[in-house]
Structure 1
Amino acid sequence: MTETRKLAKYLASLGYGSRKEMEVAIRRGRVTGWGEDVEFDGEPLDPGPGMVILMHKPAGYTCSHQDQGKLVYDLLPPRFLKRDPKISSVGRLDADTTGLLLFTDDGALLHRLISPKSDIPKTYEATLARPLEGFEKEFFASGSLILRGEDKPCLPAELEVTGERTARLTLSEGRYHQVRRMFAAAGNHVEALHRSRFGPLELGDLSEGAWRLLTEAERAGLAP
């Protein structure tokens, strides 16, 4: 395979276009540089396989490739969705939940991060329908809470009361709608939910709907 075809194949795997389209782009001078300094239309290439994206998910967006309505993937550059390997969200946040959401095309990393054995702490800020009653911190930390429809108790979770109807909950599991169901088991209802932290990662000043690539150091710290 010629160098042009190899480069065209690589560009196609990053989602810039088909192989034939990339061969034409190369011939027309849209691809410049060499080695690690290749540019497409004057811009550095996207990272190769192993890319991890951090997004500040807005409310109203679904973590799906196929559902109707607004999808979190709509917030990413269209070429990202044509990459091979495919980009997927690391777990899900329901449509009404905002906050830190990760994406990657690294299947092995994805499975490590969502595995029940990963033990990665995730922190959520909850706004509740009714005032907290005072027993919730001990209740969530007990390791004895069994959610409705399940038979295995939740792992101990740490609750920090931040207001009369607000709380910060840190847990190391990722069960279906877990935070909402935990507060429901405590006789309350979550009106708003925001994930502020995933392992060592925080949103910082990233605006709602925006995203950024993780640095190599952040990626290494996420799943050593």
Structure 2
Amino acid sequence: MKLLRTIANLGYGSRRDVTAMIREGRVTDAHGEVLYTDDEPAHADVRIDGEPLDPPAGLLLMLHKPVGYTCSTKDRGRLVYDLLPPRFARRSPQLSTVGRLDRDTSGLLLLTDDGALLHRIISPKSKLPKVYEATLAQPLRGDEAAIFASGTLMLESEKTPLLPAELEALSPARARLTLHEGRYHQVRRMFAAVGNHVEALHRSHVGGLALGGLAEGAWRTLGPGEWEQLFQQ
């Protein structure tokens, strides 16, 4: 792909903007040699103002979503895209969240511009485990693990029971819950179904990927090896 289109598709600006950047000599190779509109250098060799280009299409990144941010491009208020470089919102193909975490949930959020990968992750057939840690308004009763694991729990207004889920008590009012599907506000609705209320919710794992020590609000790109790690359960 020619240089102009490559840079524009990565969201650095319109084709007119990128043309101006090239004319100003801001686009160079790794050795500082000025590049031109019709050049076709290797992606890794391109620099803008001395900085390497963002990863090409086929991007997968991990974000530590804080509470108070929405997984949307259109809602009012703070959006998860505000935590990324502004040009990421202008990439083509578009960078999308892989599923959602609600405004009041923190933790591991994946974003990608690879449509096939996105659908593979969220497909019900994948049954990728998602691990949440919940702080509850009331202490656990003791029967929640059996109820959640039964495969018979029905949520209000739904017609099919939930898949079995695993609960581990971390303290009297804290629990780790592993889900194998992703229904709307599922963790909160599950605890509501057993007479409790989730006061704080954090997702720590998706598939074989863990949030690890990534700071709140920080993000990083994931390499091909980590793509496969995602599907290792």
TM-score of the two chains, using structure 1 as the length reference: 0.95
Q: Distance in 1 between matches of 2:154 and 2:220?
A: 37
Is 1:84 the equivalent of 2:92? yes
Q: Give the AA of the match of 2:28.
A: T
- 1:17-56 alignment runs, 5 A limit: 17-33=13-29, 34-35=41-42, 36-56=44-64
Q: Is the 8 A contact 1:8 1:20 kept in 2?
A: no
Superposition deviation, residue 111 in structure 1: 1.3
Give the count of matched residue pairs: 220
Q: Distance in 2 between matches of 1:200 and 1:92?
A: 18
Structure 2 residue aligned with 1:166, among 145, 170, 174? 174
Structure 2 residue aligned with 1:99, among 86, 107, 132? 107
Could you say which residue in structure 1 is the equivalent of 2:161? 153
Superposition deviation, residue 223 in structure 1: 4.7
- CA-atom RMSD in angstroms: 1.3
Superposition deviation, residue 28 in structure 1: 2.3
* Identity, % of aligned positions: 64
Q: Distance in 2 between matches of 1:123 and 1:78?
A: 30
Q: Give the AA of the match of 2:221.
A: L
Q: Distance in 1 between matches of 2:23 and 2:76?
A: 39
TM-score of the two chains, using structure 2 as the length reference: 0.91
Q: Distance in 2 between matches of 1:25 and 1:219?
A: 34
- 1:1-224 alignment runs, 5 A limit: 6-33=2-29, 34-35=41-42, 36-223=44-231
Q: Is the 8 A contact 2:207 2:231 kept in 1?
A: no
Q: Gaps spanning 5+ residues in structure 2: where?
A: 30-40
Superposition deviation, residue 24 in structure 1: 2.3
Q: Give the AA of the match of 2:143.
A: F
Q: Give the AA of the match of 1:131.
A: P
Q: Distance in 2 between matches of 1:21 and 1:63?
A: 28
Q: Give the AA of the match of 1:195.
A: R
